[in-house]
């Protein structure tokens, strides 16, 4: 028994699933005590009976000359009683031992199952894995150990503060681990400290975990270093560099690069290296520009230059920065397009491009901190082909490439916002091309108008399962022209909607399309419609307004859509009770969680356990939309709305991290499932099969659904004063 307990403890420690040794010893002692106590008691009772009663009676009868019959008659009742009690004790002991063995077998089976899943997942994942147990001891997989250059036994004696750099995100991560919050999870962009005290840039997803064999924190570590990214590109020979802003994939492809540059850190040529490094640490920069006496860039220094030349001892910390700078500096004018800037970076094999002002002096740096890597086939090439396409068949061919683009984005570890951005941008370009084709067919528009994308496209959150949600607003015209304009835009809307369906974007089942007169209105008609929705004089208003709230202009006069949004805010401000009614709709979308904290499933015709991930995301979308409306936030994307709400102090940083991580995790899970479904040749849906999920994923989903439920309660209480 003791050996089995010791073996179990050793295995748990080896797998990073150790439990408290003191608790384990107490459990083992208790089991040993229960197993040994019955035979000891039985033996003690028999011994006491023999020595205290049987032998004295035997001697007494012998001395008095009694016979054997009298002896048996006298001692038989007592002997039978002792034997019965002893038998009862042994029966109890046998039953208890049997139960103990059965429990042990169940535990062993559970351990083996979890151990196999754990080993399979940890050893095959492409990301690093750190487990911090309840005693703050750490274990890591080979990826993390290799990344930080530690041996397993060396790593186990470290603490989290020994390897997590105390920058802004790192400090928050350490605070999160110390709070031991059972529900909140989060993502942190920070640096881990290697054994040689250098840094590894990482993205960490942290989550609390509590199972019979694991109690503590799991950190999923994604290596963001140059070496790791270069290695990732070798997986697919079709992969090439393409860069996008981290907020939306290639949303800024044809905007000025100056819109994404970061403020530069400037030093003159004679500044001491130590002084520059100290300033870099304070400013959290990994690059600075060296300028000459006239203020022009004469060189650039990166943290790689510091590692290679200063740490190696080639130059001293008191030497001037000009000793280690790279020169000449590759620069670009602020008006350069982002895609051209990226091409220039590739041509010169650099990762920092200095953006100059109108006089040629450094105004900013386009750095890797602001950029992410995606496939050129997923973005630039696809978008270029879309812009060149001039027929519906060509547009349809481009749309069919989107699945491959999304697949490679998912496999390359892109953020959810980048993937949905590419999908939504594709739909936007296709719509723009179709409107231009409609002009050739029907002639120019009779007045100014704005073509509006609504729903998921309006939020920039489309996935591979999407339908149409669109409408048109046209400027007010004299009464005699209004029907002429309406007729034109209905024809245009029908052409665009029919063509979108032909390409692959299904008709909206609810009829929310620009081919429907209900969604083609003048400015005044839209204002009247808003008032009727908000004041309760129109039926079905909540469904309609929830869709229109996420609108954005994808073609035409943006002033019209801007005026429409201002009118919406003004109307809501005059009828604040509408927000309470809107907040109440969140109750119609509940996260799939049972009252006991387990994932609530439904069954397919084949008895598979599934849940609808689109419905699971809806409460977070409604939460962000409702608060954004109250705070007059123009952003339509859920993550962007949450970020602005945090900046305004409406939600706390912990709430922001929790809700953003929940939205990110569910969206990536949704994309991954869609890609798998396509590869299996099955029709797309929003159902997630429980059997396809690992134990760690199920535990994470349960925590996320708790967070979403918390957001629902917060929204209801904020606007209605009740939790249910």
Neighbours of 600 (CB within 10 A): 14
For the ranges 39-53, 192-206, 420-434, 525-539, the lowest mean pLDDT is seen at 39-53
Choose from 54-63, 72-81, 709-718 the range with maximum mean pLDDT: 709-718
Residue of higher predicted confidence among 577 and 645: 645
- Residue 375, pLDDT score: 38
pLDDT of residue 335: 73
Q: What is the mean pLDDT of residues 551-579?
A: 88
| Predicted confidence (pLDDT) per residue in 331-382, tens digit | 888 777 666 777 777 778 787 888 888 788 888 888 655 544 333 344 566 7
Task: Say how far residue 261 (Cα) sits from the centre of its chain.
Answer: 26
Tell me: the pLDDT tens digits for 525-544? Answer: 998 888 888 877 544 445 55
CATH superfamily for 251-373 is CBS-domain (3.10.580.10)
- 697 pLDDT band, cuts 50/70/90, is confident
Kindly tell me if the per-residue pLDDT of 515 is higher than 70: yes
Most confident of 183-187, 331-335, 380-384, 611-615: 611-615
In the chain, count H helices and then E strands. 26, 20
Residue 71 has pLDDT above 80, yes or no: no
CATH top class, domain 126-232: alpha beta
- Residue 624's pLDDT band (boundaries 50, 70, 90)? very high
What is the model's pLDDT at position 124? 44
As a whole number, mean pLDDT of residues 398-417 equals: 79
Residue 388's pLDDT is: 82
CA atoms within 13 A on the CB side of 428: 25
User: Residue 196: which residues within 8 A CB-CB, separation 6 or more?
Assistant: 149
**Residue 473, pLDDT above cutoff 90:** yes
User: What's the pLDDT score for residue 669?
Assistant: 92
Tally Cβ neighbours within 10 Å of residue 675.
20
CA 699 from chain center: how many Å? 14
Contact 448, 522 (CB under 8 A): no
* Class of CATH domain 576-724: mainly alpha
Q: Are 435 and 488 in contact (CB under 8 A)?
A: no
Is residue 585 very low, low, confident or very high in pLDDT (cuts 50, 70, 90)?
confident
Residue 491 — pLDDT band, cuts 50, 70, 90? very high
Contact call for residues 547 and 454 (beta carbons, < 8 A): yes
| Model pLDDT, residue 87 | 66
Q: Of the candidates 270, 274, 269, 262, which has an alpha carbon nearest to the alpha carbon of residue 300?
A: 269
pLDDT bin (cut points 50, 70, 90) of residue 38 is low
Task: Place 503 in a pLDDT band, splitting at 50, 70 and 90.
Answer: very high
Cis preceding-peptide flag for 691 (omega within 30 of 0): no
How much is the pLDDT for 36?
Answer: 54
Give the gyration radius of the chain's Cα atoms. Answer: 35
Residue 715 near residue 583, CB atoms below 8 Å: yes
Please, which pLDDT band fits residue 597 given cuts at 50, 70 and 90? Answer: confident
pLDDT of residue 93: 65
Q: Which residue has the higher pLDDT, 426 or 338?
A: 426
User: DSSP states of 590-650 as a string?
Assistant: --SB-TTSSBP-EE-TT--EEEEHHHHHHHHHHHHHHHHHHTT----SHHHHHHHHHHTTS
More confident residue, 247 or 627: 627
Q: What is the pLDDT of residues 164-180, one digit of tens each?
A: 988 777 888 888 887 75
- pLDDT for the residue 452: 94
Q: Supply 274's token pair.
A: 């130590």
Q: What is the DSSP letter of 687?
A: E
The DSSP symbol for 328 reads S
User: pLDDT at position 643, please?
Assistant: 92
Task: Output the six-digit token pair for 268.
Answer: 């003159």
pLDDT at 583: 81
Query: Which carries the bigger pLDDT value, residue 50 or residue 681?
Result: 681
Q: What pLDDT does 201 receive?
A: 86
pLDDT above 70: residue 698: yes
Query: Does residue 22 surpass a pLDDT of 70?
Result: no
Pairwise CA distance, residues 459 & 75, whole Å:
92
Over residues 485-490, mean pLDDT: 96
d(CA 590, CA 621): 12
Provide the residue ranges of all domains of the chain, joining segments of one domain with +: 2-122, 126-232, 251-373, 576-724
> Residue 327 is encoded by which pair of tokens?
């020169």
Q: Which two three-digit tokens encode residue 530?
A: 């808003």
The rounded mean pLDDT for the chain is 77
Q: Does the pLDDT of residue 215 top 80, yes or no?
A: no
Q: Can you read off the two tokens belonging to residue 558?
A: 């943006």
Tell me how far apart the alpha carbons of residues 71 and 48 are, in angstroms, rounded to a whole number: 19
Q: Between the CA of residue 94 and those of 28, 34, 87, 88, 563, what are the distances in Å?
A: 18, 11, 10, 10, 82
Which tokens sit at 424? 């939504």
Q: What residues pair up with 302 in beta bridges, in sequence order?
A: 287
Choose between 609 and 115: higher pLDDT: 609
Segment among 21-35, 50-64, 314-328, 346-360 with least mean pLDDT: 21-35
User: Pairing relation of β-strands 609-612 and 602-603?
Assistant: antiparallel
**pLDDT value at residue 152:** 85
Show the beta-strand stretches assigned E in 228-328: 243-245, 266-268, 287-291, 297-302
The yes-or-no verdict on residue 272 having pLDDT over 70 is yes
Which of 130, 148, 240 is closest to 201 using CA atoms?
Answer: 148
């Amino acid at each position: 028994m003791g050996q089995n307990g010791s073996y179990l403890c050793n295995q748990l420690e080896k797998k990073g699933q150790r439990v408290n040794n003191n608790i384990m010893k107490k459990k083992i002692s208790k089991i040993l005590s229960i197993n040994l106590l019955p035979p000891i008691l039985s033996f003690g009772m028999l011994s006491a009976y023999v020595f205290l009663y049987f032998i004295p009676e035997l001697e007494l009868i012998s001395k008095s000359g009694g016979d054997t019959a009298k002896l048996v008659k006298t001692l038989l009742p007592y002997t039978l009683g002792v034997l019965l009690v002893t038998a009862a004790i042994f029966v109890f002991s046998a039953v208890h031992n049997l139960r103990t063995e059965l429990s042990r077998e169940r535990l062993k089976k559970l351990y083996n199952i979890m151990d196999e899943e754990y080993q399979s997942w940890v050893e095959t994942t492409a990301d690093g894995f750190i487990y911090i147990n309840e005693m703050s001891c750490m274990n890591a997989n080979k990826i993390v150990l290799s990344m930080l250059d530690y041996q397993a036994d060396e790593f186990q004696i470290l603490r989290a503060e020994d390897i997590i750099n105390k920058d802004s995100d790192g400090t928050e991560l350490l605070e999160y681990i110390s709070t031991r919050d059972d529900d909140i999870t989060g993502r942190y962009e920070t640096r881990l400290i290697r054994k040689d005290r250098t840094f590894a840039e990482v993205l960490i997803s942290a989550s609390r975990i509590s199972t019979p064999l694991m109690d503590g924190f799991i950190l999923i570590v994604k290596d963001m270093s140059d070496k790791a990214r270069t290695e990732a590109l070798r997986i697919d020979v079709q992969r090439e560099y393409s860069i996008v802003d981290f907020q939306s994939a290639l949303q800024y492809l044809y905007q000025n690069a100056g819109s994404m540059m970061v403020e530069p850190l400037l030093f003159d040529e004679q500044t001491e290296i130590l002084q520059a490094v100290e300033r870099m640490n304070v400013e959290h920069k990994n690059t600075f520009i060296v300028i000459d006496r006239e203020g022009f860039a004469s060189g650039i220094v990166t943290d790689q230059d510091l590692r290679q030349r200063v740490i190696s001892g080639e130059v001293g910390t008191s030497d001037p920065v000009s000793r280690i700078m790279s020169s000449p500096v590759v620069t670009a004018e602020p008006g350069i397009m982002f895609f051209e800037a990226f091409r220039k970076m590739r041509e010169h094999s650099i990762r920092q491009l200095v953006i100059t002002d109108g006089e040629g002096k450094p105004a900013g740096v386009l750095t890797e901190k602001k950029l992410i890597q995606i496939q050129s086939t997923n973005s630039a090439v696809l978008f270029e082909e879309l812009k060149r396409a001039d027929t519906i068949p060509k547009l349809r061919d481009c749309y069919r490439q989107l699945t491959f683009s999304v697949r490679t984005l998912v496999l390359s570890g892109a953020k959810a916002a980048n993937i949905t951005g590419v999908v939504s941008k594709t739909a936007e370009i296709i719509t723009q091309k179709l409107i231009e084709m409609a002009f050739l067919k029907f002639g120019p528009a009779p007045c100014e108008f704005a073509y509006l994308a609504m729903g998921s496209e309006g939020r920039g959150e489309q996935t591979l399962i999407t339908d149409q949600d669109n409408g048109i607003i046209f400027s007010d015209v004299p009464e005699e022209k209004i029907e002429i304009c309406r007729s034109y835009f209905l024809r245009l809307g029908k052409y665009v909607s029919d063509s979108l369906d032909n390409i692959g974007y299904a008709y909206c089942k609810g009829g929310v399309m620009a081919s429907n007169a209900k969604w083609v209105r003048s400015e005044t008609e839209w204002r009247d419609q808003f008032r009727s929705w908000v004041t309760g004089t129109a039926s079905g208003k909540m469904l309609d307004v929830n869709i229109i709230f996420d609108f954005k202009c994808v073609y035409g006069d943006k002033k019209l859509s801007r005026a429409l949004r201002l009118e919406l805010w003004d109307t809501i401000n005059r009828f604040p009770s509408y927000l309470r009614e809107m907040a109440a709709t969140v109750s119609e979308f509940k996260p799939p969680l049972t009252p006991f904290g387990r994932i609530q499933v439904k069954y397919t015709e084949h008895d598979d356990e599934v849940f609808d991930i689109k419905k699971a995301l809806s409460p977070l979308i409604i939460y962000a939309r409702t608060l954004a409306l109250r705070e007059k936030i123009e952003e339509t994307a859920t993550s962007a709305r949450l970020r602005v709400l945090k900046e305004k102090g409406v939600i706390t940083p912990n709430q922001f991290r929790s809700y953003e991580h929940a939205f990110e995790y569910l969206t990536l899970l949704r994309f991954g499932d869609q890609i798998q479904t396509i590869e299996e040749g099955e029709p797309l849906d929003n159902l997630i099969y429980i059997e396809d999920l690992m134990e760690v994923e199920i535990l994470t989903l349960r925590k996320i659904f708790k967070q979403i439920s918390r957001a629902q309660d917060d929204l209801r209480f904020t606007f209605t004063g009740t939790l249910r």
